[in-house]
Structure 1
Amino acid sequence: MTSPQLTPPPIALAHDDDGPAPAPGGPLPLVLLHGTPFDRTLWTPLRERLAPRRRVLVPDLRGYGESDVTPGTVEFATFAADLALLLDARGIGDFVLGGLSMGGQIAMECVRRFGTRVRGLLLVGTTPEAESPEGVRARVELAARLEREGMAPYTAEALPRMTATPPESPVTAHVRRMMHGTPPAGAAAALRGRARRPDYRQALSRFTGPALVVVGEQDTYTPVPTARALARLLPHARLEIVPGTAHLPPLEAPERFGGLVSDWLDAEAGAR
């Protein structure tokens, strides 16, 4: 494919690319996009579970983890173009695409831009609508606050909503490390881009591949009714609710979540 032109200039995304080499009739690669303010280690339990049998590509988005930061505003079109360039560089054609929260919305942008290559869609704790006017203001204000204060105050406020695990648990410690480790300028740029995102409902309603929508039972960012509405929007979707989890089922319940995704890939979305 011809990759979209990128403004600002392209960067090399830090990434993990594990699993067997492509083979005729073999499983499709799975590409996973993290949310904010996280990094690619969000997907480590799932990547390690699937990589023995399936190629799994997991990048750090622009401005996150080990990838370079672009200050100011990074539109979702730029995130999608970054991914297209990485896919081309890694020799990946058709693939299954997954994303959590903001990563799910970037996955929707990819469906809108080069959806013929997306053979299956995994959406976790995410929503397709454009931002409301109140949401735009809140994201822009939060972006300025992160640049002014750094990540620590926001992490202290938001972390209790991110997971349903105890504050002293290894899961909560992992999430705290990801949040503290996110460059404030990177998170701020993504927040401004997220405030400008389009409505993805029409693009999703035309997506004909299999889709799996997953939500934590206790998620207050994207509650269960929101996930139900998203699943109804997609022509070939099923919904899974993960008990005892909030916004991050891949880390909070890795065995349950990994089993759901593995079974879905094997049954519906994993074959060439």
Structure 2
Amino acid sequence: MASRLRIRGINLVYEDRGVGDVVVFIHGQPFNRSMWNYQSLVFSKTNRLIIPDLRGYGESVTTESIVLLDELALDIIYLLNELSIDKAVLVGLSMGGQIALEIYRLAPHLVKGLVLADTDARAETAVSYLNRKALAKRLLADGMESYTAENIAHYLCKNTFDTKQEVVDHLSTMMAGTDAAGAAAVQLGRAERRDHSGILSNIDFPVLIIVGDQDAFTPVATAEYMQARINGAGLAVIKDAGHMPNMEQPEQFNQLLKDYLDKV
């Protein structure tokens, strides 16, 4: 069941499930907390899970015109403080991984472990910066249904798209149901994101990097870039998966996460 707390000016909606060591799941864009359903049913039996809808997504509504990743990270830091949680493993996919690194930058004492899935520690390039700005305008003009119809296949590998209709349907529902204004505000903020490459060498706890072998947005080479800069980081490449391996190959993803949590 979802809960809500007044956090930094908005009603932040989140799930608080299970007991034990805390794991925070941070969703990507343009999704919501339900993308972690494939993990929450498993890990709520062994851990306490905090799974928020980020500001501007799902049920966490915002009216701001731009939302920086710093703001999304601070929302989670404040949420953990309100819940009297002083240590957690952060699991973030895509934008969620960038937010996890932002939390580590702002409040390293909170972070017990990091799982970075299909993400990139680097800032935007000059070209991708302009692309994000243009995409924000397009989302406002055309809406999320149009964006979803044209782009959903890019998030999944071909095998998933052709054979796993329930995953396609779930992803489509999340994307098309996202508030266009909220998504545009975060796209504008994400364009301004920091380059976290410089802090990777400071991480002194186990890190797991996961990537789908057919990820078109953050390919294996991007995961290898991060692994080379984090001392002792593990890298797992999930076969037959695109940008959403936790949904496309949940059994593989969950086993990797279980092994990591056992180690941490």
The interval holding the TM-score normalised by the smaller chain is: over 0.9
Structure 2 residue runs without a partner (length 5+): 1-6
**1:44 is aligned to 2:37:** yes
Output the CA distance in 1 between the equivalents of 2:174 and 2:203.
32
Output the CA distance in 2 between the equivalents of 1:120 and 1:83.
15
SS of aligned partner of 1:174: helix
Picking from 163, 168, 180, the partner of 1:184 is 180
TM-score (norm 1): 0.91
Q: Who is 1:25 aligned against?
A: none
The structure richer in strand per residue is 2
> Match for 2:208: what amino acid?
L
Output the CA distance in 2 between the equivalents of 1:89 and 1:12.
13
Spell out structure 1 runs of 4+ moving beyond 6 A. Answer: none
**1:198 is aligned to 2:200:** no
> Match for 1:147: what amino acid?
L
SS of aligned partner of 2:161: coil
Q: CA deviation at 1:12?
A: 2.7
Q: How does 1:111-260 map to 2 (within 5 A)?
A: 111-164=104-157, 165-167=160-162, 169-260=165-256
Output the CA distance in 2 between the equivalents of 1:66 and 1:53.
26
SS of aligned partner of 2:77: helix
Q: CA deviation at 1:166?
A: 2.6
TM-score (norm 2): 0.94
Q: Who is 2:4 aligned against?
A: none
* Greater mean alpha carbon deviation, residues 8-17 or residues 112-121: 8-17
Are the aligned partners of 2:8 and 2:75 in contact in 1 as well (CA < 8 Å)?
Answer: no
Are the aligned partners of 1:30 and 1:97 in contact in 2 as well (CA < 8 Å)?
Answer: yes
Q: CA deviation at 1:68?
A: 1.3
Q: Who is 2:85 aligned against?
A: 92
Q: CA deviation at 1:9?
A: 4.5
After superposition, the C-alpha distances for 1:131-155 in whole angstroms (9 at most, x for unaligned) are 1111111001100110111001211
Output the CA distance in 1 between the equivalents of 2:258 and 2:8.
36
SS of aligned partner of 2:102: helix
> Quick one: percent identity of the two aligned structures?
40
Structure 1 residue runs without a partner (length 5+): 1-7, 23-27
Q: CA deviation at 1:236?
A: 2.7
Are the aligned partners of 1:69 and 1:183 in contact in 2 as well (CA < 8 Å)?
Answer: no
Output the CA distance in 2 between the equivalents of 1:218 and 1:37.
19
Output the CA distance in 1 between the equivalents of 2:168 and 2:178.
16
> Match for 2:199: what amino acid?
A
Q: Who is 2:14 aligned against?
A: 15
Q: CA deviation at 1:10?
A: 2.7
